[in-house]
Amino acid sequence: MKTYELTYIISSATGTEEMAAIIKEVQTFLQSTGGVILASQKSPAQTLAYPIKKQHSGYYITEIFQMGEEHIKSIHETLEKHAGILRHFILVKKPTKPMKERRTRKPIFAQAEPVASFPTDSKKSGPLDAADLDKKLGEILGE
């Protein structure tokens, strides 16, 4: 059995008792055709983007249910013929995949690591001669 989401619009011109009766009728029809209702949600009256059957506002009702694929066509035909329902659509709810963890970039100017300091002779504080520099390089390179 697949999980489906049915969303339909009921005209706001209908009374609260009529609206409750339509919702109950749709839910009993879903259950009678072998469906299991998982969740139901009703939103307050909302203005439609464009008029549907000369109605400018309606209630959006969403039903999430599980059912076999063979009954979906009969549900579609029944809701199409119902006078109180302005528009409906049925979606297949696929299980969501867990998202991969996103990599984050290291900041360009991260905390600077301390630069290794060169050992200096405390004897000399001025500029080095070329001969002293060659001597130090020879010691470092092991020559």
The pLDDT tens digits of the residues spanning 38-83 come to 999 999 999 999 999 899 999 999 999 999 899 999 999 999 999 8
- This model's pTM is above 0.75: no
- The predicted pLDDT at position 25 comes to 94
The pLDDT confidence band at residue 126, using thresholds 50, 70 and 90, is low
User: CA–CA separation, 30 vs 65, rounded Å?
Assistant: 8
CA-based radius of gyration for the chain: 37
User: CA–CA separation, 137 vs 143, rounded Å?
Assistant: 8
- The predicted pLDDT at position 115 comes to 58
Q: How far is CA 112 from the centre of its chain?
A: 38
Superfamily of segment(s) 2-93: Ribosomal protein S6/Translation elongation factor EF1B (3.30.70.60)
User: CA–CA separation, 95 vs 97, rounded Å?
Assistant: 6
For residue 56 the two structure tokens come to: 């400018």
Angle at which helices 72-81 and 16-32 cross, to 10°: 160
